[in-house]
Amino acid sequence: MGFFGWPRGVAYVSSLALSPFSSSVFHCFGTGTQNVIEACVTQGTQYLIYTSSMEVVGPNARGDPFFRGNEDTKYEVVHTEPYPVSKAKAERLVIEANGRAVEGGKQLVTCALRPTGIYGEHHPLMKQFYEKGLSTKKCLIRAVPASTEHGRVYVGNVSWMHLLVARKIQESPSTVSGQVYFCYDDSPYKSYEDFNMEFLGSCGFRMLGSRPLLPSFLLRFMALFNAFLQWLLKPLCNYTPILNPYTLTVVRTTFTVQTSKAKEHFGYQPLYSWEESRARTVKWLQEIDAQRDAGK
């Protein structure tokens, strides 16, 4: 999002480019984040904002639901996969660094934002779903119950929240010091499949079945098989399938947030409505679809 001016003197750390299913995230999120903290200390940078993830909380490995929860909702965090474990470690490093002395005699002020599932223009997973759907003639098979709800957030609103907290952390450090915030907007709560169809449907995609057509045991077997292949091929290549035991648990587990903490602390309100967020994402996918048709 190139239209927001980033406040000077504020460090921002995120590692969104890495595949979340790769074991290399341990090094990036852990060691990389610690290096950023040390750089802030030695360079006298006073403010540090970390882009965390809802997945530092859940869904946990047991698939326990998190329904309309907030930052203070009790939830047993049980993770085994590299992405949530390493993200949680990185967030903890940033929050624990709050109050640390930096060059020049001042103190480091830190906070973390936890976006729910991000969507929007140029999202690689959305494009991947589009491309996979083409191989089945734009027919998608329902695999997850429609009653499973997830919170999603538009990328422009994620950027907007970062800008607002970056201003607040300088104007009133004590307000956001050491705090974590879920990053959310007014996007509807739906299953991953039904939410994605809000955009893919504009390109002629159809969802087959009002209930899951693939049995749970088959999905579980496919996820375990992919995990086995990932382990088997690790010495040869970085095989990172979308479906694995962790992602299967995520899509089959309700995880929604309902909080006003960011609004109360630094005046956050979504910059983009659901209607505008949807329209922007649909336009992008339709452009991809038109380019594909033109290339036939």
- What six digits make up the tokens of 49? 């904002």
In Å, what is the CA distance from 127 to each residue of 194, 256, 267, 282, 287?
16, 24, 33, 12, 12
Among candidates 295, 286, 296, 293, which has minimal Cα distance to 130?
Answer: 286
Please confirm, yes or no, whether 83 is among the known catalytic residues.
yes
Rounded distance between C-alpha atoms, residue 233 and residue 109, angstroms: 43
Q: Which two tokens stand for residue 148?
A: 């499973």
> CA of 285: how far to CAs of 33, 85, 205, in Å?
34, 33, 12
What single-letter amino acid sits at 199? F
Catalytic residue chosen out of the listed positions 47, 50, 83, 272: 83
**152: which strand partners?**
117
Strand partners, 12: 49
For the annotated catalytic residues, the residue numbers are 83
